[in-house]
Amino acid sequence: MMKSIHNVDPDWVATLGELAAQHGRSQEEEHREILKRALHRTTRPDPATSIARARDLCGERN
């Protein structure tokens, strides 16, 4: 079920529209994609992936 979001900053709405146009999507589709990506980031990666990413960021190699 889709819920409406109220009291959103008009600048955010404009930016959402611009992003949607750039990606060839409706604002609703863009909103879903943003939420999907944001929620995906909250899932915990396995420890080996976290360690590998940390090593890459620090420039360390095995």
Segment 21-34, tens digit of pLDDT = 999 999 999 988 98
Are 31 and 16 in contact, with CB atoms under 8 Å apart?
A: yes
Are 30 and 19 in contact, with CB atoms under 8 Å apart?
A: yes
SS3 of residue 50 by DSSP? helix
Mean pLDDT of 6-12: 88
Structure tokens at 54: 């940390």
Task: Using the predicted structure, report yes or no on whether residue 42 has a pLDDT greater than 70.
Answer: no
Distance of alpha carbon 1 from alpha carbon 44, whole angstroms: 26
Confidence of residue 59 (pLDDT cuts 50, 70, 90): confident
